[in-house]
Structure 1
């Protein structure tokens, strides 16, 4: 089968070959409507730009990478789908990499694998420090996802995130608003990650506002934000004496919450009758769990759009780099059966 050419795409879209070339090269002087029209023809015909030729003409390959800790985690798998969709709108192809949270691998991928192939990288680091990543961001287009610990005037890379303190505070306030007085937290991380610290901060702020006291016995530590650690932590909480055992739990991820639901089922405790459970991630698994899980939902489409557009701007810039920025994506709380009871009608 003959390869699809720029001429083929131009004929399908009803535009000039030059217009198709401008879209494929991500030239700035193309309207959004024209760009989308041409990209639709590109997708329909399965056109694949010649990366080597493009690299010679423009110094760019049109390839970017998304590097995340764990593709088995629904949050990152769903985020990857959004990133690919947003990148396609700009004529970019996404290579998806898994770091498994290894600092050396995070640093390696942050450089674009030697920058010989990739135009830029979107990275969700777990253990590479932001100071380690700073030299990379000053030389190579890099956008970071997730939490940050330093003030805006010390920003050393573009960053896309949600307000984790506010998100945790809203979920905990919801539990307190239901009249729950012994609220536990599952997700205090032995590795003291920024995610864990910020969500714990929001949890404690909500307790204080509700006139409740933070009890370390109701905050067992975990190794990771996965189902198994949620199961183990909830088993520990379920064995506490009746006067201490929690009547609500805020889990720092949906996966922790799914494990906690299993442990409560094992212990013969009803949800939400005996214990109300809330999580954070807004994954599809939260919607289909039994009972369905109340969860804080980060706007993954917005996160992906902000990250891809920010990276594309860095890639296209031929002037002195603009100051790094923090972009905050929206989030919201979805209340479901695990805290308010009833029955959820799935679409």
Structure 2
């Protein structure tokens, strides 16, 4: 690998000048900067990030911990986090918690043992008390709905509003008997609770009754759970004409059940999901869904860690908002409106 000295010799400048160009200092003439940049490109110079990090007492590695690595939403989010981290020259260590409270607690206290500079955590089981009891000083950013009003920065989307928008879309299509798949009653159900609340808000605003028979609880959020819940709903004496699923995997399972029973989607029953995973874009019919801005979530999370690691405080600086609401969009496709996309 080329060194700063090699670049300096080729460019005919001092090592200090090359260092100034590499580190983006402004006080270098345009002519000198151009000469150095040509030498950097010719020698394919790459900074020694390991040495730089060691000098700063850092590893150049951050951690991302999510409940399920095989869930497409978290896989796509991880890719966005890796992309955002690369802008800072960081590598990302990825871990899976399975939503287990003890594992999440160990992550809160044990990241220093893994030699990482910061942690992005999407928790399922821990609560505010767990976060308040944390003694590890590694910078932390939280994703999702589980922990609010804590000492760490928290990034989420407005799940209740987004769920209401999906349900309002189904109502606007003329549906009055709308089911929901994905309710949960166990610990760690902040997302499910908010999406159910948004569903109820839309029904109430439209003057439609809330029917508990049309709300299907699921043990988890996989395709099989959605398929089984849909079988139960379609067996009702008066089955629903539209279904809002709390994630896209549930919706894909529900879609499969509907089609296997000879129903047309959306003519006989409309199906909508949440998360905008790639599978839903290529299903037949493709899936109406809520699209959280995963790139924005990842960028804000990583930039918050960068600020904290460089002295900006535990959540990216005292002046930063602790609660950040990321953008989302409702994407209307064939499974509700029959619109080719």
TM-score by length of 2: 0.85
Change (3 A) 1:138 1:272: same
Report deviation, 1:113.
Answer: 2.7
Report deviation, 1:131.
Answer: 2.2
Q: Decide which of 328, 331, 334 is 1:334's aligned counterpart.
A: 331
Q: Residue in 2 aligned with 1:66? A: 64
Report deviation, 1:208.
Answer: 0.6
Q: Decide which of 208, 221, 238 is 1:225's aligned counterpart.
A: 221
| 8 Å Cα contact 2:123/2:146 also seen in 1 | no
Q: Residue in 2 aligned with 1:183? A: 178
Report deviation, 1:90.
Answer: 1.5
1:194 counterpart = 2:195:
no
Change (3 A) 1:275 1:19: farther
Change (3 A) 1:318 1:283: closer
* The structure with more radius of gyration: 2
| 8 Å Cα contact 2:289/2:330 also seen in 1 | yes
Change (3 A) 1:107 1:19: farther
Report deviation, 1:133.
Answer: 2.3
1:216 counterpart = 2:212:
yes
Per-residue CA shift, 1:223-248, capped at 9, x if unaligned? 0111111011001001111xx21000
1:91 alignment partner, SS class: coil
Cα distance in structure 2, aligned partners of 1:310 and 1:141 = 9
Change (3 A) 1:273 1:9: farther
Cα distance in structure 1, aligned partners of 2:104 and 2:185 = 20
Q: Decide which of 305, 324, 338 is 1:311's aligned counterpart.
A: 305
Cα distance in structure 1, aligned partners of 2:276 and 2:336 = 15
Q: Let me know the Cα RMSD of the aligned residues.
A: 3.1
Q: Which runs of 5+ in 2 are unaligned?
A: 28-32
Cα distance in structure 2, aligned partners of 1:20 and 1:131 = 47
| 8 Å Cα contact 1:112/1:119 also seen in 2 | no
1:245 counterpart = 2:246:
no
Q: Decide which of 134, 141, 163 is 1:168's aligned counterpart.
A: 163
| 8 Å Cα contact 2:109/2:136 also seen in 1 | no
Report deviation, 1:100.
Answer: 1.6
Change (3 A) 1:114 1:240: same
Cα distance in structure 2, aligned partners of 1:81 and 1:108 = 24
Report deviation, 1:4.
Answer: 5.6
TM-score by length of 1: 0.84
Report deviation, 1:327.
Answer: 1.0
Cα distance in structure 2, aligned partners of 1:112 and 1:62 = 17
Q: Residue in 1 aligned with 2:152? A: 157
Cα distance in structure 2, aligned partners of 1:111 and 1:268 = 52
List aligned pairs for 1:277-316, cutoff 5 A: 277-316=271-310
| 8 Å Cα contact 1:281/1:295 also seen in 2 | yes
Q: Residue in 2 aligned with 1:343? A: 340
162-171 or 86-95: bigger deviation: 86-95
Cα distance in structure 1, aligned partners of 2:7 and 2:304 = 28
Q: Decide which of 322, 325, 329 is 1:325's aligned counterpart.
A: 322
Q: Which runs of 5+ in 1 are unaligned?
A: none
Per-residue CA shift, 1:90-136, capped at 9, x if unaligned? 22211111112122222222345335510000000111223212343
1:280 alignment partner, SS class: coil
Report deviation, 1:50.
Answer: 5.2
Report deviation, 1:322.
Answer: 2.2
Change (3 A) 1:251 1:61: same
